[in-house]
A and B are shown apart, each in its own frame.
Chain A
Amino acid sequence: MAGSDCSCAECASDECLVEIRGLVKRYGSRKAIDGVDLTVQQGEVLGLLGPNGAGKSTTMAVLSTLTSFDAGTISLCGLRLPRDAARVKRLLGIVPQELALYPSLSGTQNLSFFGRIYGLRGRALSERIARVLEIVGLSNRARDPVRSYSGGMQRRLNMAASLLHRPRIVLLDEPMVGVDPQSRNLLLEHIERMRAECHTMIYTTHNMDEAARLCDRVAIMDGGRILAVDTTAELLKLLGSGVIHLACSGQESMAAPLAELESVRSLDTSDGVLRIRVSDTQAALLEITRLCHERSATIHSLEALEPNLESVFLHLTGKSLRD
């Protein structure tokens, strides 16, 4: 299932490392996670795409064993949560949203500390520190205090700290938050390299470009639920060749004639807007404006959405990813 080009035995195993069924997490009466089902294969990168409050970070917190859950089952590498939490922790690498580092310590001291917490000692620890510093390109700054690093360098070290103990699954929770564009590209390259090295990853983001670039499959989340999960290409097919959003006078009476237009495949109404999936965007725009003119309907807004993950999300939820 892995989307990397790697052909190692592990990637070829198609082992399901993460299996989540009917996951529910409540805070009081509010459901932060509402019946989530997900699977992640060995070597696969799964993206959790959604706006703030969609339930991505809560899902990550549950998988990290930091938060309990109210219903459902979670299996990680064949181990069950919460029963096997202590063993699961050794298999996970967590890249938190925050820069969870000690700024007054050097990069090496930070990594040495986190490595020891995971039981690494002596030469094994030194070798792993050198290796992860090399992976994230910080070998030449390893002895400097972390507070002297740029934001991007701190993010890279934040990631390095999660890789020291060779985790089987890496959880990356919005790792690009607050990163400048140049550092962001560097970080994306590092994650792509990890992907090529068969790391199994779950990656939360509200950035569709990151999701499209890094993830083998993307799960679109909103309101604690998974709305769709598939490869980016399959998700884009949900839109046909495009989607047109129309708001006009006499909207209710326009739905039937619009549905009969040749380039229109289907339509529905959401939040006072007609969402029209079309087979040919250019032709559909002409047909729609002509129909409105003929019926003397005043067009308040007419928007053609390009088929990308942002518009898929907008199509599925009626909301922008940045909402």
Chain B
Amino acid sequence: MWLQIKALAIKELQIFIRDPAAVLLVFLLPLGFVVLMSYALAEPFAEQRSRQIHLPVVDLDGGPLASKLLAELDQMEAIAVERRFQGQDLNRKSLEHLIAEGDRSIGLVLPAGLSRALRSRAGDPIAVELVSDPALGDQVVEPLLGTIRGLCERLSFQAFTPDRVDSLFERFGGSMPAIALDGIRNKVRTDVLTSLQTPSPVRLMRVAPASMQHVVRPDAFQQNVPGYTLFGIFWIVVLLAESVLREKRDGTFRRLLAAPLSRGVLLAGKLLPYYLVNLIQIALMLAAGRLIFGLDLGSSPGGLVLVGLAASASATGLGVLVAALVRTEAQARNLTILLLLTLAALGGCFVPRFIMPQAMQSAGLATPHAWALDAFQDILVRGQGVVEILPELGALMAFAAVFFLLGVWRFRFD
């Protein structure tokens, strides 16, 4: 039996490598997509640095320094301060909702007592919160944090220094001899210099809305290398379906069925080479990602292997199902291409699912692509291992089993 499977598999591979279009489709197309799309989408992945930041704010302080802080922020070209959104005053809850829904990516909460803290520079630092989408890149958040910190310091000194001088003059009276005025001058200098060495009166905190989980997002290559690898391995569906139809049309299936060969062996020998081609595809694409684009492959090679095996199983399983359902080679090519493009798009191979609307993100879970991509990115982006990707592996194997069983049930050899 194994020798027959081997003979069938070798025959299938010989036919495959003699078909330049198939080799191109399977290996070069996804690699081309990776290069093209990674560079094309580099800017969006860099979080649109050149665009103005809309900054919704909640001012719980209401004091003059908080107002001045917001006014100065609003005067900056890169920042548009929003105290209201769609005609409604903002509060902490509505601000978090805006960010969770993706209407805004970052917002500012000024705490009650901020003005007093800036003016006095005494006691524990007061927390100013920058509420942001966890997916928002540091390249956006850090400059904003620096700007706010700088403004707070400046406003604090502008308020603190005259106050300090006034209090000293009130304390020592107006009729002082010259020598006493020198003493006061020295005292003011000492106080101001000392206060400069005290910690900032504000502590800036980056926080996520309560409803949003903190996750690390992929960069362009971490998205595109696994994304287009998965897009590529599912092309095997077209090749497998066409190959099966060709065997039916040419009568080679009938010839083989008349040979001492069971249908199970025939099907296994037919599928094995496509499964192997899928594994080679994944290995080559990840190797290209590493060598050409410097992609960090994470610390779980075993996890990568398991994702590769499971994703290939679901691709081959889908191939069996499609091969069982299509009746003509035109169907195999046109309808299947449409199906594959839809699944890949929905599964986040072209555009990351996290930037899609919630409904689309949920719909994506109906595709094996989404699960496989999540598993790859858990390893490549988040540094996770086999244990963490077990749910994704389970889903992929379930897809493979359902596709395969339905396919075998509907499969006709003639």
Q: Are A and B bound to each other?
A: yes
A66 interfacial contact with B, CB 8 Å: yes
Q: A105-B18, A109-B14 are in contact. Are A100 and B252 (CB under 8 A)?
A: yes
Q: How far is the CB of B252 from chain A (nearest CB, A)?
A: 5
Return the contact of A102 from the options B6, B15, B258, B414 (Cβ within 8 A).
B15
A92 engages B258 (CB within 8 Å): yes
B7 in contact (CB, < 8 A): yes
> Which of B3, B252, B255 is the one whose CB lies under 8 Å from A116?
B3
B14 touches A105 (CB 8 A): yes
* CB proximity of B378 to chain A, nearest CB, Å: 41
Partner of B255, one of A86, A96, A104, A121: A96
A114 to B10, CA, bound (A): 12
Residue in A100, A113, A161 whose beta carbon sits within 8 Å of that of B11 in the complex = A113
The answer, yes or no, to whether A14 is at the interface (CB within 8 Å) is no
User: Which A179-226 residues have C-beta < 8 A from chain B?
Assistant: none
- How far is the CB of B11 from the nearest CB of chain A, in Å? 4
List residues of chain B with CB within 8 A of the CB of A81: none
Q: Does A101 contact B (CB under 8 A)?
A: yes
Most buried by B among A64, A99, A113: A113
* Interface SS majority for chain A: loop
How many A-B pairs have beta carbons closer than 8 Å: the answer is: 69
Q: B166-190: contact bitstring with A at CB < 8 Å (1 yes, 0 no)?
A: 0000000000000000000000000
Cβ of B280 within 8 Å of any chain A Cβ, yes or no, is: no
CB nearest to A104 among chain B residues: B18
Q: Which residue from chain B places its CB closest to the CB of A121 in the assembled complex? A: B3
CB distance from A99 to the nearest CB of B (A): 7
Write the chain B residue with the least CB distance to A65: B258
| Contact count band on B | 20 to 34
Given A116-B3, A119-B260, A66–B14 Cβ distance below 8 Å? no
Assess whether B103 is interfacial by the CB under 8 Å rule: no
Contact B3 A64 (CB under 8 A): no
Is B63 an interface residue, CB under 8 A from the partner?
no
Interface set, chain B 291-346, CB cutoff 8 A to A: none
Q: B261 interface residue, CB < 8 Å from A?
A: yes
Given A101-B250, A105-B18, A113 and B7 touching (CB < 8 A)?
A: yes
Given that A98-B251, A109-B14 are known contacts, is A116 also in contact with B7, CB under 8 Å in the complex?
Answer: yes
Report if B4 contacts A (CB, 8 A).
yes
The chain B residue with its CB closest to the CB of A93 is B258
| B254: contacting residue among A66, A86, A102, CB under 8 A | A66
Q: In the complex, what residue of chain A is closest to B7 when comparing beta carbons?
A: A116
The answer to whether B256 has its CB under 8 Å from any CB of chain A is yes
Asked if B258 contacts A66 (CB within 8 A), the reply is yes
Chain A residue at minimum C-beta to C-beta distance from B260: A89
Determine the chain B residues whose CB is within 8 A of the CB of A100 once the complex forms: 250-252, 254-255
Which A101-120 residues have C-beta < 8 A from chain B? 101-102, 104-105, 109, 113-114, 116-119
Closest B residue, CB atoms, query A145: B18
Dominant secondary structure of chain B at its interface with chain A: helix
B7 / chain A contacts, CB cutoff of 8 Å:
113, 116-117
- CB-defined contacts of B77 to chain A, threshold 8 Å: none
- Within 57-108 of A, Cβ neighbours of B (below 8 Å) are at 64-66, 86, 89-90, 92, 94, 96-102, 104-105
B366 interface residue per 8 A CB criterion: no
A89:B251 contact, CB within 8 angstroms: no
Assuming the A-B contacts A64-B258, A113-B11, are A96 and B251 also in contact, with contact meaning beta carbons closer than 8 angstroms in the complex? Answer: yes
User: In the docked arrangement, what's the CA distance between A97 and B214, Å?
Assistant: 65
Name which residue of chain B comes closest to A103, CB basis: B250
**Complexed CA–CA distance, A94 and B11 (Å):** 20
The listed residue (B8, B11, B14, B250) touching A98 by CB distance below 8 A is B250
Bound Cα distance A113, B19 (Å)? 18
B257 within 8 A of A: yes
Given A101-B252, A104-B19, A105-B14: A94 and B258 within 8 A (CB)?
Answer: yes
Question: Which residues of chain A are near B15, meaning CB under 8 Å?
Answer: 102, 104-105
A118 near B259: Cβ-Cβ < 8 Å: yes
CB atoms of B260 and A97 under 8 A apart: no
Q: Which residues of B contact A119 (CB under 8 A)?
A: 3, 260
Which chain B residue has the least Cβ–Cβ distance from A63? B258
B273 to chain A, nearest CB (A): 13
Q: Which of B184-227 contact A (CB under 8 A)?
A: none
Q: A104-B15, A113-B11 are known contacts. Are A86 and B251 too (CB-CB below 8 A)?
A: no
For B259, the chain A residues whose CB sits under 8 A away are 89, 114, 117-118
**Residue from A89, A98, A145 within 8 A of B258 (CB atoms):** A89
Cβ–Cβ contact B256 & A117, under 8 A: yes
A288 to B259, CA, bound (A): 57
- Shortest CB-to-CB span from A212 to chain B, Å, is 27
CB-CB < 8 A to A64: which residues of B? 258
B1-30: CB near A (< 8 Å → 1, else 0) gives 001101110110011001100000000000
CA distance A105 to B10 in the complex (A): 11
Residues in A with CB closer than 8 Å to B14 are 104-105, 109
Q: Which residue of A lies closest to B3 (CB)?
A: A116
Beyond A98-B250, A104-B19, A105-B18, is A90–B260 a contact (Cβ under 8 Å)? yes
Interface centre among A92, A99, A102, A145 (most CB of B within 10 A): A102
User: With A and B bound together, what is the CA distance between A116 and B261 in angstroms?
Assistant: 11
Q: In the bound complex, do residue B258 and residue A105 qualify as a contact, i.e. CB atoms below 8 Å apart?
A: no
Contact of B261 among A97, A109, A117, A145 (CB under 8 A): A117
Task: Give A95's nearest chain B residue, CB to CB.
Answer: B255
B224 CB to nearest chain A CB (Å): 33
Contact B257 A66 (CB under 8 A): yes
Which B residues lie at the A interface, using CB under 8 A?
Answer: 3-4, 6-8, 10-11, 14-15, 18-19, 250-252, 254-261, 414
Known pairs A66-B254, A89-B260. 10 more at Cβ < 8 A? Answer: A92-B258, A96-B255, A98-B254, A99-B250, A100-B251, A100-B255, A101-B250, A102-B15, A105-B11, A117-B259
